[in-house]
Every structure is written in C-alpha cells, then in structure tokens.
Amino acid sequence: MSTRQGSFRQRIAPLHTWSGLIVGWLMLAIAVTGTMTVFRPETSAWMRPEVAQTSPPEQALRAAVAYLRERAPDAPGWYLQMPDDRTPTLQAVFADESAPQGYRDIALDPVTGRPDSMRETLGGEFLYRFHFELQLPYPWGRILASAAGMLMLITLVSGIIIHRRIFADFFTFRSAKGQRSWLDAHNVLGVLALPFHIMIAATGILTLVTLTFPWAGYAAYGKDEAALVADLYPGIVERERAGTPAPLADMPALLKRAQDLFDGAPVSRVSIENPGDAAATVTMARSDAASLGYGAEDATFDGVTGKLLKHYRQVEPARTTFSVLYGLHIGRFAPDVTRWLYFLCGLALSGLIATGLILWVEARRKRPHFGLAFVERVNVGMVTGLPLGLVALFWANRLLPPHMPDRVVAEPRFFFWAWGAALLIALIRPPRRAWPELSALVALGAAALPFLSWAVTGRGLWDALLAGDWLFLGADLLAFAFAAMFARITIALRRKGAPPREVRAKREAMA
C-alpha cells in the first residue's frame, strides 16, 4: 500500500509537481520583485527625479547628521547608507514610534541632508523589502520567504532529476503545440540559467539563516549566547548608553580615517549608535561594490573622541565562504554587464515559474474539476497581476502629489490594488478572455509610462538621449521592451482564444 511504483525518477515527479504548485505563486512574487531589486539603486533614483545634484561623501554625511540631530535626537541609533555612483541620495534608517512600522527609512538629499526637496517615496526599497518580507510583520514574512526559497530549491533539484534529456532539450522548442510548447519553454528557461536558479535559491535561504536556522550556533555555544553574538558580529562594539550628553565627533574626519584603513576603498554604511550620548560609537563599513564578499571589513570609532575602538577584517575561511555566497545573492559586486545578466536570469526564473504553473494546468486539462479552474484563474491573475502592480507603482510615483500626507505608504498601495484587481478580474472572467485583456493592460500601462514620466518630470527619452542620461534612457527603453513583450503575448493569446481555423473558414464560406 505504501509502495510507489516505477523508477526513482517517476517517484520524484510528484515532489516536483506539488512543491512547485505550493510555492509557485509566492515564488513568482519573490522572483519578480527580486529581479527588480537588481536595479534597486537605479529604481530609487528614477523614483526621485528631483535629485539632480550629487555631492562628495564627506559633505553628504555632514549634512545628513546635522539633519538627524534635529529630526531624531533621541533615536537609539542612526543607520546610514552612503551615496555612490549608482545612488545620488543618502538613505537613513532610525527608530520612530510614530512611523507605521516603528522605524523610518528615508532618503536624504546629498547637498542639503534633508528629505523635503524630493517626493516622499520608498523608491526601490519597497520592492527590495517585499522580496523577503512579503509585507508581513517580522519575522513571519522572512520565515515564509525562506520556506518558499527552500521549496524552490527542492523543486529545482527534483526538476533536474525528473528531466530526462537535459542537454538535448536545450536546443528543443516546438512552438504552438499546446502543452508540449509550454514544457519546452519551461525546460529551456530552466536549463538556460540553471546554475543561476540554484545559486539564487540556495544563497537566498542563506541570507536569512540566522533567523531560520540558529541551531548550529546554539549547539556550538550552548548557553553562552553572549559569546555567539560577539563571534557572529566581530566588528561591533556594544556600549550601554551613558545618559550624559556629548557632541558627536567630526564625521567627515572619521570617514576619511576609515577610508585610509580600507586601503582607500569607499565607505558604504555608517552606523551611529547612541548619537549625542557620551557612549556613542560610529561603525564604518567598507563598500562591497568592488568585492564579492558581503560585509568583509569595518572600523568602529568612539563617537565622541574619535578613537579607533576596533578594526575588523574578515579572514576566516568558513565565514568568508558564507559572506561570498551572501554577496552572490545580492549581486552588489556586479559590474554593468553582470548586473544585466542577473536581471535577465531573474526574468528567466520568473518565466520558469510562470510556465511551470501554466504547465500544471495544461497537464490536467483532460480531467477538468473545480480545483483546476481555480488554479488556472489564479495563474492568470498572478502572471499578469505582478507586472500590472509594478506599472501601477511607477504610475503612482509620477502622479501622486509630491508632498501628500503618508505618500510613502500610498505608493505601494497602488502596487497591491492593481495586483488584487488583476486577480479579481482573472477570477471572474474566463481565462481565455482574461489572459489577453490583462496582458494588453500591462502593455498599455508600460508603453505609456515613459510619456507620463516625460509630462511630469520634463525628462523625456529624447532629452535623456542627448544628455547621455543612462538612467532615464534605460528606464524608458525597458518600459517599451516590456510593453512590446506583453503586446506580443496579447496578440498570441487573442489568436489562440479565437475559434479554430476550420470553424472560421466554414463561417466565412457560409457568409
């Protein structure tokens, strides 16, 4: 009774099919937002078109600290992401009880150090956060995303096992053959970027492993949790708040000293603990834009006297392996070409998941039932709803009044509303209608985006071309490329939804 017939490969097949379905919808959302996150700094910059100026890091840091001193003097810490050649603005995170999530994550102008010169937006931070927090409260979103990542990895490995002719299928695509074509597309997308898919799923799990899998640490350290924390974060200097106020040391000077310690490499993050207190500390992290590993070196100074308290440089082999795997996931090291490869592989992964979901339905068409109809309709809503949500997010960014109250949370709402609306339409309309209708909507929305942006910001495609403004040029061209892709899908699906050729010929003959 508990025997499963057939070969090893056949026994693994249900694992692939069912883990794929369970995780498919969630993973599609994670893959799409993750793919967008490859261009997180660029997305942020595009979403803040007012910022035209940059300033040297010392000046940006000085201005930001001056602003934070008046805005959040009592916050336990200020966490700053420094501007670089991809991001003109400085990003600041600090605790704030009046904020919806208990903390603020705001962009600061690199010249004035203030947020008010630009529209209030989370920029690329929203999609980045959604990618692993799924808009759920801590820690549930992260746990769910990790579980999805593990199911994804299991689906990939079992997919390789059940795949008979992995190399031959690389060159096989039989178009317009229904289920066979979906399978071919699924295989090509899967095999083409297979090392990427496995790498991104496995390293994605690793990024959240301190939350989801603390057991090795507990086993090795037992009850000595303080030692575990100290060993895990060797660069950190813990200090109790003294309670006596003291002015912060000169930030640009500390920045300069940190850069000297890092052989001249730029600083990417500045963490100021207990600002304004006698026990203040300032930790500067070396930028990982030019190295594979994540968080490989930092320096901590006394926040008042400026004395160097600790200089940590990663040398341990296992930790370095971990940080390189982590760095591979976030891909910040990637130069332009590699970054585009990450983006394209992310698209391939999204396509792999989407075709897998469609294939699940196609393979069961012969025996229709309620569950199948439901899966098919949700598939339509997810595959078209996510891009529609992105289009709505970018439209909202351009159209909402720049300083309306709670704009930061209003923008992402359009992402969820559009996604939800697509799901609703997909549930109500028959799939052969909903597919082309929603695809057409995505195509129109994406195609209109560059014109809308031009009308609002005055920075059109032509000006971007003349000015060599790669950011706006790239965004506009990408919007057109997606519009073309969804227009192509619409046309293909409309043809498919039309009555078969023989019927049409008969009708025409009779007319």
Residues in contact with another protein by the rule CB under 8 A? 1-4, 8, 11-12, 14-15, 19, 150, 153-154, 157-158, 161, 202, 205-206, 209, 213, 215-222, 224, 227-228, 231-232, 316-319, 321-322, 325
Q: How far is the CB of 163 from another protein (least distance, A)?
A: 14
CB of 289 to another protein, least distance (A): 24
Q: What's the min distance (Å) between Cβ of 1 and another protein?
A: 7
Q: Minimal distance in Å, beta carbon 134 to another protein?
A: 19
Give min distance, CB of 13 to another protein, in A.
9
Pick the closer one to another protein by CB: 154 or 421.
Answer: 154
Per-residue buried b or exposed e for 276-313, using 16+ beta carbons within 10 Å of the residue's own CB: bbbbbbbbbbbbbeebbbbbbbbbbbbbbeeeeeeebe
Overall residue count recorded for the chain in this entry: 511
Q: What does the block give as tokens for 270? A: 């500045």
C-beta closer to another protein: residue 220 or 428: 220
Q: Give pairs for 304-307: CB < 8 Å, separation 24+.
A: 304/246, 304/247, 304/248, 304/249, 304/278, 304/280, 305/249, 306/249, 306/250, 306/253, 306/254, 306/257
CA distance 167 to 175: 19
Q: Residues 6 or more apart from 400 whose CB is under 8 A from it?
A: 119, 407, 410, 411
Distance CA 444, CA 466 (A): 26
Nearest-approach distance from CB 136 to another protein, in angstroms: 20
Of 11, 16, 15, nearest to 353 (Cα)?
A: 16
Q: List, in sequence order, every residue forming a beta bridge with 81; answer none if it has no partner.
A: 91, 269
For residue 205, the minimal CB distance to another protein (Å) is: 6
CB of 319 to another protein, least distance (A): 5
Strand partners, 377: none
Contact assessment for residue 419 and residue 425, using Cβ atoms and an 8 Å cutoff: no
Which CB sits closer to another protein, 19 or 121?
A: 19
Residue 208 or 308: the one with the smaller Cβ distance to another protein is: 208
Q: Which is nearer to another protein, 222 or 499 (CB)?
A: 222
Q: What residue type is 124 in one-letter code?
A: G
Residue number with CB closer to another protein (62 or 364): 364
CA distance 267 to 297: 10
Cβ nearer to another protein, comparing 155 with 259: 155
Choose between 161 and 447: whose C-beta lies nearer to another protein.
161
Closer to another protein at the Cβ: 136 or 232? 232
Cβ of residue 221: shortest distance to another protein, in angstroms?
6
Nearer to another protein, 8 or 171 (CB): 8
Q: Are strands 267-273 and 77-81 parallel, antiparallel or unpaired?
A: antiparallel
From the number of C-beta atoms within 10 Å of its C-beta (0-12, 13-18, 19+), residue 208 rates as middle
Q: Which is nearer to another protein, 11 or 496 (CB)?
A: 11
Strand-by-strand arrangement of the 267-273 sheet: 103-108, 90-95, 77-81, 267-273, 281-286, 297-302, 308-313
Give whichever of 84 and 231 is closer to another protein, judged by the CB atom: 231
Residue 349 sits at the vertex; the CA angle it makes with 347 and 355, to the nearest 5 degrees, is 100
The rounded distance, in Å, linking the Cα atoms of 474 and 1 is: 59
Q: From CA 73, how far away is CA 70, in angstroms rounded?
A: 6
Q: How far is the CB of 126 from another protein (least distance, A)?
A: 28
Q: How far is the CB of 293 from another protein (least distance, A)?
A: 13
**How many Å separate Cα 500 from the centre of its chain?**
41
For tokens 């006596």, the residue is 244
CA atoms within 13 A on the CB side of 421: 14
Tell the smallest beta-carbon distance from residue 12 to another protein (Å). 5
- Residue 333 has phi, psi (to 5 degrees) of -65, -20
